Amino acid sequence: MTSESQHSQPAAAAEQAPGLEEPPGKGLRSGALGMATSLILAVASAAPAYSLAATLAFVVGYVGFQAPAVVVLAFLPILFVSFGYAALNRRDPDCGTIFTWAAKVLNPSLGFLGGWAIIASFVLVVGSLAQVAGQYVFLLFGAEGIGSTPGHPLVLLAGLGWLALMTLVCYRGIEVAAAVQRALLFLEFGMLAVLSAVALVRVYSGTAPTGSARPRLSWFNPFEAGSASAFVSALVLMLFIYWGWETALTVNEETADRHRTPGRAATYSTVALVVLYLVATVAALSFAGIGDTGIGLTNPDNSGDVFYAFGTAVFGESGFGSVLWHLLILMVLTSAAASTETTVLTLSRTMLSMGGQGALPGALARVHSRFRIPHVGTVAVGVVGGAVYVGMNFLGHGLAIGDAVSACGVMIAFYYGLTGLTSAWAYRATWRDSAADLWLRIVFPAIGGTILLAAGGWSMVHAWDPANSSTKIPLPFAPGAEVGGAFAVSAGSIVLGLVALAVCRRRYPAFFRRRTVR
């Protein structure tokens, strides 16, 4: 451990509230990660290239050239909640994050539901990540007929292969997983920077195709977005692409100076993401425009992947341009693979904490003696994620995977929002201590948490309409009536969470009788 860590940890520990003890050792490899690696894990978890490729067209479809305004405004509640994460981690660095914090500060049942929301969101999204990785294997080698077909059996096999590979990487230990992340993120950031720079240079040099436009300050004005409903829809979508940075907190017990480094890495990662998203969004808008033909961002044929659609137009189709275009395809592939890996990392450690504290089966708390990872949970995530992916693949010819991703937004909004409110409640008695503590531990987290919970509720209402989902689900007691698939998956996840809570309350009563810290 560095001298800085040795001096800072006692001070941080002294700050803890009465009744919150230093977390017991779980057998993980403590001190294995530094600030740089924690930051890399946090940014990679958001899968910037994949998230932009899959979401930007829909955001532009709602608000047009005001997409940059949405990028900035969606960033604010995320930043505010990250302050809450940092404050709670400084007080109690446990890899269970909101599960542990809410259970201790608010109520064990709320903590369990926060943990369930993490489990549900990551299990639902892993199918999408695996599918994108599988598709891009074939797109990379020019097999567009296979790569562009949702639900294709070969894509399914390739996706399962990527999921198995990333699970194996996580199984071999946190250092191996971190090393893989560094390599993957380097390619991702490098290619996004090159794509954005070349696109903007071509716009300003006048060599961009018809429909391009030079960036304007008015693009950052949210009041020019048209209807409020459309703007909120775009805002909720943009919240999803920021998701994942809290991975820095779930590996806090494997991080040097675990009271401070994970929280700082999480907050810094949100800033890095907003800069990256702004540059890439402005570049894509400028070069491709918002037309509904050709490479235009509102062309329905481009909605699934804007980068694949206009990458050739940016770089050209021959010589070095072809090389860059193939690197662009590889970028999205590695982005999805990197996020798959951090999904396994995050979820296995959440279940480790839940199993170790007696809220889930104790087997999930087992740590491999050699690799120092929660090996039972890691394998469980890979197996369950693969099973869910296979099931979703055969629903609606693979279109249900898109609804599963939409349903993730509700789960994310809940546990992010719960974290913000938990921070405000945990520090409510310290509001007179300093202005910084008042704003960073209470006010900002409470505002961010409230906004995100409201966004989650709005998403549920929005998803009820079948027109807002990829699939339709008939209502069992209303012949002829249908609801959106995204609503059905969201509601189903909530119901399963409540059932799991009821079962676990009976199976593990000791955990649910724990007293909260006041």
Residue 473 has phi, psi (to 5 degrees) of -120, 125
pLDDT category at 352 given cuts 50, 70, 90 is very high
Residues found in the chain? 518
Rg from Cα positions in the chain: 22
Is pLDDT above 80 for 27? yes
* Residue 92 near residue 16, CB atoms below 8 Å: yes
* Two structure tokens written together for 299: 């062309």
pLDDT at position 6 is: 39
Cα 232 to Cα 74, 226, 263, 457, distances in angstroms: 10, 11, 28, 12
Task: For residues 67 and 51, give the distance between their C-alpha atoms in angstroms, rounded to a whole number.
Answer: 14
Is pLDDT above 70 for 311? yes
pLDDT at position 518 is: 58
Q: Which residue has the tokens 């993980």?
A: 28
Sequence-distant (6+) residues with CB within 8 A of 99 are 111, 112, 114, 115, 118, 350, 353, 354, 359
pLDDT at position 107 is: 94
Average pLDDT over residues 55-84: 94
pLDDT category at 130 given cuts 50, 70, 90 is confident
Q: Would residue 320 be called left, alpha or beta, if left means φ above 0 and alpha means ψ between -120 and 50 degrees?
A: alpha
Report the SS3 class of residue 208.
Answer: coil
- List pLDDT tens digits, range 132-184: 888 889 988 888 888 877 678 999 999 999 999 999 999 988 888 888 888 88
Positive or negative: CA dihedral 471, 409, 41, 184: positive
Average model confidence (pLDDT) across the chain:
88
Average pLDDT over residues 348-352: 96
Is pLDDT above 70 for 19? no
For residues 371, 376, 379, 380, the Cα torsion angle rounded to the nearest 10 degrees is -160
Sequence-distant (6+) residues with CB within 8 A of 399 are 150, 151, 470, 471, 485
Is pLDDT above 70 for 277? yes
* Two structure tokens written together for 271: 């800033």
Average pLDDT over residues 276-293: 94
Is pLDDT above 60 for 377? yes
DSSP single-letter state for residue 255: B
Side chain identity, residue 176: V
Average pLDDT over residues 61-66: 92
Helices (H), 319-473: 319-356, 375-393, 400-426, 435-437, 444-464
Task: For residues 448 and 425, give the distance between their C-alpha atoms in angstroms, rounded to a whole number.
Answer: 14
User: Which CATH number does the domain 31-512 belong to among 3.40.190.80, 1.20.1740.10, 2.40.30.10, 3.30.300.30?
Assistant: 1.20.1740.10
Q: HSE of 185 in the Cβ direction (CA atoms, 13 Å)?
A: 27
pLDDT at position 399 is: 63
* Residue 345 near residue 251, CB atoms below 8 Å: yes
CA geometry: angle at 307 spanning 160 and 245, to 5°?
A: 65
Q: Higher confidence at residue 462 or residue 302?
A: 462
Report the SS3 class of residue 483.
Answer: strand
pLDDT category at 126 given cuts 50, 70, 90 is confident
Is pLDDT above 50 for 12? no
Side chain identity, residue 413: A
Q: HSE of 244 in the Cβ direction (CA atoms, 13 Å)?
A: 32
DSSP single-letter state for residue 360: S
Average pLDDT over residues 16-26: 47
Task: For residues 49 and 273, give the distance between their C-alpha atoms in angstroms, rounded to a whole number.
Answer: 11
Side chain identity, residue 106: L
Is pLDDT above 70 for 21? no
Average pLDDT over residues 108-116: 97
3-state SS, 441-462, equals HHHHHHHHHHHHHHHHHHHHHH
- For 220-277, the DSSP string reads G-GGGSS-HHHHHHHHHHHHHHHTTTTHHHHTGGGBTTTTTHHHHHHHHHHHHHHHHH
- The greatest distance separating any two alpha carbons of the chain, rounded to the nearest whole angstrom, comes to 69
pLDDT at position 396 is: 61
Is pLDDT above 50 for 294? yes
Task: For residues 99 and 1, give the distance between their C-alpha atoms in angstroms, rounded to a whole number.
Answer: 28
Task: For residues 389 and 404, give the distance between their C-alpha atoms in angstroms, rounded to a whole number.
Answer: 10
Residue 482: its H or E element: strand 482-484
CA geometry: angle at 341 spanning 327 and 418, to 5°?
A: 120
Report the SS3 class of residue 289.
Answer: coil
pLDDT at position 316 is: 86
Q: Which residue has the tokens 């992947």?
A: 305
Is pLDDT above 80 for 336? yes
Average pLDDT over residues 193-221: 94
Task: For residues 156 and 135, give the distance between their C-alpha atoms in angstroms, rounded to a whole number.
Answer: 9
* Two structure tokens written together for 118: 């993490």
Q: Higher confidence at residue 495 or residue 394?
A: 495
Task: For residues 320 and 332, give the distance between their C-alpha atoms in angstroms, rounded to a whole number.
Answer: 19
pLDDT at position 13 is: 38
Is pLDDT above 50 for 8? no
Spatial CA neighbour of 54 closest among 288, 313, 273, 332: 332
* Residue 31 near residue 6, CB atoms below 8 Å: no
pLDDT at position 17 is: 40
Q: Which residue has the tokens 């002294």?
A: 14
Is pLDDT above 50 for 387? yes
